[in-house]
Structure 1
Amino acid sequence: MNAKKRILSALNGGRVDRIPAWLPVVPVTVSMMEISRAPWPGSHSDAEQMARLAAMPCELAGLPTATVPFCLSLEAEALGCQLDWGTINRTPSVKKPCATKPDRFDVPGNLLERGRIMTALEAIVILQENLGDKIVINAKVTGPFTIAGHVFGVGNFLSWIKTNPEFVHEAMSRTIDVTKELARAFLAHGADVVSVSDPTSSGDLLSGKYYEEFVFPYHKDVAASIKAPTTLHICGYTKELLPHIRHTGFDGFSFEEKVDVLTAKKLLGDDISLIGNISPVATMLQGTPEKITAEALQCMRNGIDLLSSGCTLSPLTPVENIRALVRAAEEYQLPDGPEERLLEFGRGLAAGRAS
């Protein structure tokens, strides 16, 4: 089974010969930028540089994926928000929202022609032509809740949950079109997987009740609209959200180490593949290859389906640490003996009983 088939099968809940290492989040580093001559912030706006840098995790660390774009501001820029373009080790971010209320905001009819969207689409084409037969070409789109925070200002938008809940739904009914349109465009240009990143819907900011009311219906709509393997990534503590995320329809859920794998497995069951959840800072950035190996083995023993960092890697992460993650996945053997199979069966039974 080649790397690409292994990842796609694991995402779809199918048979694999081993657990794959795969990051649906951004895995590029400053050293990769230097080697590829495609540093930030320039490579955010140049398709050839973007594609060249996106290929580096595979070329230098053996990670069988290429992910573009590298930031969460692609959609916000196209919608009219002002950006801080960041630095070589910091991604662009929204500096100024573009609207104050939902009735003063409309999605432009020429969305795909605005900002850097065509740059990202062209990078997908380049990656598919050069690497598409070997690795997964992963397109990262921003989720509708996070886009709404960018458009209206995060503090302002979140305050509407209590003061003007109808504003939240009106805003989401518009920003969801951005997520869906961009996902369709990425697939049309050759992406294999669409990874929806919606960090503002984190359990650190929303209760499970608020997620169910204001985010879940839109995540379910997005997942249903994407005719390809899909993942959802939400940062922070997401335990209260998991019973709802289980029923969104995404193929995989990427989560941080704030939720342990056994708990996630119990709450998500077999309805969605688990992706994670090695700490991107304490382990991937600051840890040794030996620490990464130990934590990766524990993650896989506990039932992770695709081994990954729990969130986007720091651009200062040592490449050797990414190699250690890949090696851990390559060397881990799936349960084979009677005792191992019984333990795995027990975990599956517990997961199946979770409601």
Structure 2
Amino acid sequence: MQSFTLKEGFVRALKGKEVDKVPVCSVTQTATVEMMEVTGAKWPQAHYDPEKMATLAIAGHKLAGLEGIRFPFCTTVIAQTLGCKIDEGNIDTHPYQLSFPCADVKDVKNINVPENLCESERISTVLKAAEIVRTRVGEDVPVIAGMIGPAAVAFYLAGAQNYLMWCIQHPDVLQELMEIGTEVCVEYSNALFEHGVDAVNISDSEAGPDLFPVPMFESMVLPQYRKLTSRLHGLSVLHICGDATEILDHMAVSGFNGLSIEEKVNARYAKHMIGDRACLIGNVSPTMALLSKSSEFVKKEAKQCIEDGVGILAPGCGIEPHTSLENLQAFVAARDEYYQGKVQ
């Protein structure tokens, strides 16, 4: 089989086409403290400065060998743009939320979506970083941008307590918040594509069975996903943390090209459920393997994921900031060793 560039392999895998080897990258958070120290691009500045964001994002490719470049590094870009107050965190702590605009159901009517959404400070920073990344790495490396999804937008705006209560008491209010999230995700995603991004990763763990009632997923969340994906001008991935086993079949018909699963989901079973309807992505544990175990353990887990049928080898969720470069390099090497073993 012919050899493909990293971007060609990634795009072909997402589209369900044959590749010479499974791509190995991360569609979720990639930055580590070690990368920050080497590059000088550190949190929290790298969340808000496009040059530093681009430099730190590229480090995952240049230093660890990941076959894709993914940014930004937190989930607060849309939340802050829609009025949530954020603590910027520090070198090994993600930015986190300090306020929730929807303290009451009546507050939903007061949510302010900026008229020029993509000119807002946080989103424009990511768009500028996208341009810088594309200029620096050229056209042969895939560029992936992440954001929260419709259910996560509702969660960030309402807060955990309201989100859980309104699932039962005021599903119409949650629906309205999700619709706001869908519109924002569509506009933001398409702007990213225009600025050189190849795929967007929509992280929407708040729609997963760990938080959201499974019977309501089909009626409330799935229509938002279909509306979102039908309007995107590029490739898309859905990431849901936790045990998403119960909604795998619904995820497979959501319109996303790729489905990113955590290690709580059995990858072999997920592949059986999803089939060829989407590219399965995952699912080496970022904490119980990449962060805390030996390189040999990481390699064993990675090779098993490929054997189980993933179309793109990736961590099951965001890489922990204190993960070693040695383990990330072993993660990439495992893919090569897997195919070398097959040849032998």
Shorter-chain TM range is over 0.9
Quick check: 1:219 aligned with 2:199?
A: no
Mapped to 1, the partners of 2:307 and 2:333 lie a distance apart of 15
For 1:49-64, list aligned pairs within 5 A: 49-64=52-67
Note the alpha carbon deviations across 1:283-305, whole angstroms, 9 max, x for none.
01001110011111111111111
Quick check: 1:131 aligned with 2:141?
A: no
> Aligned-pair distance for 1:334?
9.0
> Aligned-pair distance for 1:106?
3.6
Q: Where in structure 1 do 4 or more consecutive aligned residues deviate above 4 Å?
A: 334-337
TM-score (norm 1): 0.92
Q: Which one-letter code corresponds to 1:77 in the other structure? A: Q
Mapped to 1, the partners of 2:341 and 2:22 lie a distance apart of 11
Decide which of 81, 93, 98 is 1:78's aligned counterpart. Answer: 81
Quick check: 1:330 aligned with 2:333?
A: no
Note the alpha carbon deviations across 1:38-68, whole angstroms, 9 max, x for none.
1100111111010000000111111121112
Mapped to 2, the partners of 1:336 and 1:54 lie a distance apart of 32
Instruction: Give the percent of matched residue pairs that are identical in Structure 1 and Structure 2.
Output: 35
> Aligned-pair distance for 1:110?
2.2
Decide which of 140, 147, 155 is 1:149's aligned counterpart. Answer: 155
Which residue number corresponds to residue 72 of structure 2?
Answer: 69
Decide which of 265, 270, 273 is 2:271's aligned counterpart. Answer: 265
Which residue number corresponds to residue 301 of structure 1?
Answer: 307
Q: Residues 277 and 216 of structure 1: is their aligned pair in 2 closer, same or farther, counting only changes over 3 Å?
A: same
More off after superposition, 77-86 vs 208-217: 208-217
Note the alpha carbon deviations across 1:320-344, whole angstroms, 9 max, x for none.
111111111122229979xxxxxxx
Mapped to 1, the partners of 2:232 and 2:341 lie a distance apart of 33
TM-score (norm 2): 0.95
Mapped to 2, the partners of 1:210 and 1:199 lie a distance apart of 15
Secondary structure of 2:98 counterpart: strand
Secondary structure of 1:139 counterpart: strand
Q: Residues 159 and 335 of structure 1: is their aligned pair in 2 closer, same or farther, counting only changes over 3 Å?
A: farther
Q: Which one-letter code corresponds to 1:98 in the other structure? A: P
Quick check: 1:237 aligned with 2:240?
A: no
Which residue number corresponds to residue 208 of structure 2?
Answer: 202
Q: Which runs of 5+ in 2 are unaligned?
A: none
> Aligned-pair distance for 1:154?
2.4
Q: Which one-letter code corresponds to 2:90 in the other structure? A: T
Q: Residues 334 and 232 of structure 1: is their aligned pair in 2 closer, same or farther, counting only changes over 3 Å?
A: farther
Secondary structure of 2:262 counterpart: coil
Mapped to 1, the partners of 2:83 and 2:231 lie a distance apart of 25
Quick check: 1:32 aligned with 2:35?
A: yes
Mapped to 2, the partners of 1:296 and 1:184 lie a distance apart of 32
Q: Which one-letter code corresponds to 1:221 in the other structure? A: K
Cα RMSD for the two superposed structures? 1.5
Q: Which one-letter code corresponds to 2:275 in the other structure? A: G
Which residue number corresponds to residue 317 of structure 1?
Answer: 323
Is contact 2:6–2:68 with CA below 8 Å preserved after alignment? no
Mapped to 2, the partners of 1:303 and 1:175 lie a distance apart of 32
Note the alpha carbon deviations across 1:140-188, whole angstroms, 9 max, x for none.
1210110111112122122111001111111212221111111011111
Mapped to 1, the partners of 2:317 and 2:138 lie a distance apart of 24
Which residue number corresponds to residue 15 of structure 1?
Answer: 18
Is contact 2:240–2:260 with CA below 8 Å preserved after alignment? yes
Note the alpha carbon deviations across 1:252-283, whole angstroms, 9 max, x for none.
10111101111101211110111000011010
Which residue number corresponds to residue 183 of structure 2?
Answer: 177
> Aligned-pair distance for 1:210?
2.0
Secondary structure of 2:63 counterpart: helix
Which residue number corresponds to residue 256 of structure 1?
Answer: 262
Mapped to 2, the partners of 1:157 and 1:266 lie a distance apart of 32
Which residue number corresponds to residue 4 of structure 1?
Answer: 7
> Aligned-pair distance for 1:113?
2.1
Which residue number corresponds to residue 342 of structure 1?
Answer: none
